[in-house]
Structure 1
Amino acid sequence: MKRARRLFEAIYRLYEHSGFAMAGAVAFSFVVSIFPFCIFLGALSGVFGGRELAQDAINQLFAILPEPVAKGIAPEIEAVMGSRRIDLLTASGFLALFFATSAIETLRAALNGAYRVHEKRPYPLCLLISMLFVFVSAISTLVLTWAVVVGPSVVGPAIASQFESEWVKRLFDSTALGPGVRYGLAGAVIAAQLCALHLWLAAGRRRLADVWPGVLLSIVLWLALAGLWSRYLAITNYSLFYAGLSQLMIALIFFQFTAITILLGAEFNRGVSEMKRMRREAAERAAFQGGSPS
């Protein structure tokens, strides 16, 4: 009951402190940043396994999104990826990394607002941290894609039977089990990334025990949101509202809801921390009054 009360308080605080408006800014920044990120992903993939690995990684990223959202963005990203090649160690590669940090920087400001903390770190350090988040996200995406898509077909015949290699591939391609496995792996990666965002991107110091409730809340809400958003779009026609921009707006609104779940998790964490602090202070006052002479 107390957790539910904290959740409703977090929703109110999110509205009170313009969290929904900040979520819109995060969503816009994400749409702007996703193209430079994919370009940087393609440049980075040249070090590991070529552009085919980058294409597989992008396909895996869109596989966990609701189908209408993926349809609105995937063709445009494929067009950008296929237009030209950018090497990692070039000015263009650095610029792609720089512009890909836009969403991370906006999210940092939003998380600081949710936690009610002021940024005291110098801006170059914050920018470096944001670039590091983009770089680690790209690396983890490529490694996960290699392990899921490329790895079984490459190392399978060397260390296992062909049956085992095909069994792994069928597991991920299965209509019944494939989505569950993909969402399970994606959930683990997203949980690790969210923990990192709460611990190191936002200003201030927090422990893992302080952030995991909000991370869990964000993941549960996001999974529910992805399913509900797909069902809603199946029974409505967004082109009536946005005409030719309907695909873009579908993606933008979904990313705004995603940002709301992340900020709501931060608000929830802050509320739980405040509750623990108040209990601790009350216990200290009670102990002091009980130990003081009458």
Structure 2
Amino acid sequence: MLKNIFWYSYRVFGDAISHYWRDNGSAFASHVALSGLLAFFPFFIFWASFARFFGAFTYTPQKIKALVQLLPDVIAEPLSQEIVNVLTFHQRGVLTISVIGAAYFASNGIEALRTALNKAYRVSDRRTLLFCRFQSLFFVILGAFGLVVMSFLLILAPLLIKIMQDHSFFITEYIGVIRLWRYTIAVIILFISLLIVHKWLPAGQRKFIDILPGIVMTIFVWFMASLAFAQYLTMFDYSSTYAGLASIMVAIIFLYILSAIFILGGEINAAIMFYRNYGQSLRGMKKSVDRMKVKRWGKE
């Protein structure tokens, strides 16, 4: 039993990795990383305009950092400050056309994810360009709404903890557990986002059970890679190599790592579906051969 599981896992991971390299997965990871970086600030501009409908008018580094708390500190700190700078500047006069432009450029990042996932799942996208673009814009709006909900949950959590501390003495010993829920909420929203992206963004039809293995692997490896990358940055000074571009280069490299892991998650799902269908085909052929033998023996 264990031997079969090991052999099956070996074949699945081997197929996923070989297909990743054979189809230039590293190049697609670079494309997703750069497109994601270019779409990052337009998305936050669109999110800021979207959030105003919910009364979110002011932005501080503390509030923004709460949204990027899963990133390594060396990336989250400069990134949160730049986001605040962009949003503060943009608040002076938000035009409708600029919001539409921000949504369009943010959707380019979704299109990059679509291209990478189509390659990973080994499918050809025959949907119209107009449909794909409107779907990407819908995902941008959905992402902005999800980020608004996430921001309320993550930003209001410290206030609720403070209120509970002021009015309940016994709650103090459980503060560590309560604060852990902030990360739990972020992981749940991340899981739902990956589920939506893997299910509906690429072409073809997939069941939820088909995409779960790659999603779980993606979240786990993202977490481990973030810890490893943060530890690596403490031992290596990027500013000595890239000078004023250090923060940008760190962000690009980190996004590249996340993109490569994201694509590999799709590759693993595709490999599992391939070997499962392959096994079902072999069993079907074996049953057909057995039936033919029975018929032949019956005639004899």
**SS of corresponding position for 1:51:** coil
When residues 30 and 54 of structure 1 are mapped into structure 2, their CA distance, relative to the original with a 3 A threshold, is farther
| Alignment check: 8 A CA contact 1:87 1:93 kept | no
TM-score (norm 2): 0.87
**SS of corresponding position for 1:101:** helix
| Alignment check: 8 A CA contact 2:12 2:272 kept | yes
Determine which of 138, 142, 154 is the counterpart of 1:136: 142
For residue 267 of structure 1, report the CA deviation from its aligned partner.
0.4
Residue ranges of structure 1 left out of the alignment (5+ in a row) = none
**Structure of larger gyration radius:** 2
Q: Distance in 2 between matches of 1:14 and 1:251?
A: 23
| Residues 16-53 of structure 1: CA deviation (Å, up to 9, x unaligned) | 11111111111101111111111111101110022237
| Residues 135-168 of structure 1: CA deviation (Å, up to 9, x unaligned) | 11111111122133237858x98xx99636x969
| 2:64 paired with 1:52 | no
| Alignment check: 8 A CA contact 2:65 2:77 kept | no
Matches within 5 A, 1:38-187: 38-52=44-58, 58-85=64-91, 90-150=96-156, 153=159, 163=167, 171=175, 178=179, 180-187=180-187
| 2:26 paired with 1:20 | yes
| 2:37 paired with 1:31 | yes
Q: Distance in 2 between matches of 1:203 and 1:3?
A: 26
Q: Distance in 2 between matches of 1:63 and 1:34?
A: 16
Q: Percent same amino acid among aligned pairs?
A: 28
Q: Distance in 2 between matches of 1:88 and 1:279?
A: 57
2:256 maps to which residue? Answer: 256
**SS of corresponding position for 2:127:** coil
User: Counterpart of 1:7 in structure 2: which amino acid?
Assistant: F
| Alignment check: 8 A CA contact 1:36 1:97 kept | yes
Q: Distance in 1 between matches of 2:165 and 2:82?
A: 39
| Alignment check: 8 A CA contact 2:60 2:84 kept | no
1:278 maps to which residue? Answer: 278
Q: Distance in 1 between matches of 2:139 and 2:267?
A: 22
1:201 maps to which residue? Answer: 201
| 2:235 paired with 1:229 | no
Q: Distance in 1 between matches of 2:186 and 2:100?
A: 27
| Residues 79-120 of structure 1: CA deviation (Å, up to 9, x unaligned) | 111113278882221111111111111110111111111111
| Alignment check: 8 A CA contact 2:67 2:151 kept | no
| Alignment check: 8 A CA contact 1:56 1:145 kept | no
Q: Distance in 2 between matches of 1:88 and 1:41?
A: 12
Q: Distance in 2 between matches of 1:128 and 1:110?
A: 18
Q: Distance in 1 between matches of 2:40 and 2:138?
A: 16
| Alignment check: 8 A CA contact 1:71 1:247 kept | no
Residue ranges of structure 2 left out of the alignment (5+ in a row) = 1-5
| Alignment check: 8 A CA contact 2:118 2:125 kept | yes
| Alignment check: 8 A CA contact 2:12 2:275 kept | no
Root mean square deviation of aligned Cα: 2.8
**SS of corresponding position for 1:121:** coil
Q: Distance in 1 between matches of 2:127 and 2:95?
A: 28
